[in-house]
Amino acid sequence: MSHPKQLLLDEYEALASQIAYHERLYRDGVPEIPDAAFDDLVDRYQQLADELEIPPEQRIDQTPGVDHTDGFVQVEHRSPMLSLEKISPYRRDGKGDSLPSLGQFLSWYDRRQKDLGIHRHEQLPLLVEPKIDGISVSLLYVRGQLQRAVTRGDGKKGDDITRQVKSARAVPERLDGVRGSLEVRGELYWPLDAFSAHNQKLILFGEKPLANPRNGCAGLMKRKDPEGLHHAGIRSFLYQIPWSEDLPLPTSQFEVLQWLKHCGAPVYLDEIFLAHHPHDAFHYCEQYAERRPHLPYEIDGMVIKLDRLDLYSRLEGTGHHPHWAIAYKFPPERKPTLLKGITVQVGKSGKLTPVAELEPVLVAGTTVSRASLHNFPELERKDVRVGDTVFIEKAGEIIPQVVSVDLDKRPINTESYARPTACPACGADVVSEDIFIYCPNPSCPHQVRERLRHFASRGAMDIEGLGAALVEQVIDKLGVVSPDDVFRMKEADLAGLERMGKKSAANLMKSLQIAKDRGLARVLVGLSIRHLGTTMAEDLANHFESVDALLDFAQRYRQGDPQAIEQVAPEKGSGVIEGMARKTADSIFAELASPSVRGVIEGLRQVGVLLEAKRQLSDAVVGVVGKSFVLTGSLPTLKRDEASALIKAAGGIVGTSVSKKTDYVVVGQDAGSKLDKAQKLGINLLDEAGLLALLRK
């Protein structure tokens, strides 16, 4: 029997893996669980760390809001962008909806009066604002012109997303009548109608919809190529001016919002409330919850601020949050229902995922009969059992999930759910990696189906007309099991399938011909290789240029060639593929070196699929073809995506990080660390005029 301390240590280590996993998903903009569930994991982790007396330096870093993405220049904030203290729900037993506490809020208010030396009978005016569920951004305007946009990051420094924000047209490029300099903070968000339209397109192409507008917005703002972002419809609300120079400003938060509106900035003046008594402020928050379902954007609570700006500097705050504001959080709708069974899904990479089969229940406007259990450690942590009454929420109001169990209603003789030891689809013995369980059999029928769906999806080979329903038919009736089989299908065979016909079959054959020319990066995405997403696929394709060079390298890496390992995953610094850590490289190159993946690639070669990096060389320029360029800073007239397009059209390669193999660094205003590295390495520097001159050769 295990020692009690060892059981706690096992749980502690499992929680560390889960938290790290969910942090990665959050930063990638595809979270599986809502913030409240993540907070519960962190709370339990910290509790165990305290009980086990784990030193602070050995605990995982849970700095709120860390969102740095490799490839983005980090900028230090003039003053910290801190998260807000929250009024926590008073009922945390998992039963029913929980509500924020008036007592907690009044306690916060009393402390502010004491901090300021104000008599308890003297009221502090409070401004109540909706808490937009988006991503925080800091905007620098110089003489009214937008110069830079930076994410909140870890509160001290954030990622420069100026190109993305400008391309999305999410904030004003200019503030009317502003002659001085100022920093404006606000929230980028995705309006519900635009977000819904985007998700409908994803579903139409057989792709997984985004979990919620906030994380979808975060994902768009971290796209390295921001071209076309304005079609997404990202918007903003601006609400704070923490710094200004040569610019007289109002003295209250209410007046600041009015001033920003006068300058042409998007603000939410119609939604705010100026309260002269704390009970009135709290009551407004409670009433506002009824308006929440009718708003055109997501909010997850309210923000209550001291209205007088001169008081802010007199309140010290903490390293995590200021003392001049507090957040009132809305709880998600939570409903009880019966857990009738637990099934296991097999994904395209072989990952086994438990799914709850439920007695149908209405949650957040839709009927839910299935809900995610995410992974087996999460299922075990919640101790979910068949026959339990469970509470259901929708993560981001979209994806149903089981959040807790009503233990008072647990039937007698229920049993804990045992992790599967064999794949439910093919019977192969499962393998474990991190917190997940995988089926290692590439011929597993469920994997085959999911891989083919993914291969045909818009993000991969974009085969128009080959949706999920048709994939099922071509597998069952035409014997398609591999991506190369897709390109071997005959028009006559397709025409005989249900709901097809001659015209649909002919159109699909045209789509297949077009898809053959997508290029190496899209093929790599379509192969469903674990840890290999779109950006890394593009980086691999651009670096190795051909599939033969990539496969040769993968073989050398797999065999332990020290030069290959140092090239992509050195012990210190970053390798030639930005963002590729050693563990990621081990996984990706192991699959690329495997006989199954090599067999698929050889099959694609035989049917004429382009297996080289695809570049537009119609305007190729001698001296530019094959040369590597990195851009840093803001150019005078060209946007970053415009400059990148010109370089690519001339035959050049646009990278995201500076290395010895970089040929040119194009330098604009506010160039960051890339310029410093280029100078140290002695790399050729170009300004915009020099770049244009080179491209005209």
Active site residues: 131
**Residue 676, token pair as written in the block:** 């410093």
Give me the count of residues in the chain: 697
Residue 392 DSSP code: E
DSSP assignment of 224-267, as one string? SS-TTGGGG--EEEEEEEEEEES----SBHHHHHHHHHHTT---
Q: What angle do CA 199, 328, 193 make, to 5 degrees?
A: 20
Q: What is the distance between the alpha carbons of residues 203 and 531, in angstroms, rounded to a whole number?
A: 23
CA proximity to 253, closest of 135, 126, 134: 126
Give the number of other Cβ atoms within 10 Å of residue 75's Cβ.
21
Which residues 6+ apart lie within 8 Å of 39 measured at CB? none
Contact assessment for residue 443 and residue 423, using Cβ atoms and an 8 Å cutoff? no
CA proximity to 659, closest of 590, 560, 566, 526: 566
Q: What is the distance between the alpha carbons of residues 5 and 12, in angstroms, rounded to a whole number?
A: 10
Q: CB-based burial of residue 66 (10 Å sphere; 0-12 exposed, 13-18 middle, 19+ buried)?
A: middle
Q: Are strands 126-132 and 273-275 parallel, antiparallel or unpaired?
A: antiparallel
Give the number of other Cβ atoms within 10 Å of residue 571's Cβ.
7
Residue 651 DSSP code: T
Rg (alpha carbons) of the chain, rounded to whole number? 27
Which residues 6+ apart lie within 8 Å of 642 measured at CB? none
Q: What is the distance between the alpha carbons of residues 671 and 688, in angstroms, rounded to a whole number?
A: 13
How many CA atoms lie within 13 Å of 76's alpha carbon, on the beta-carbon side?
A: 2
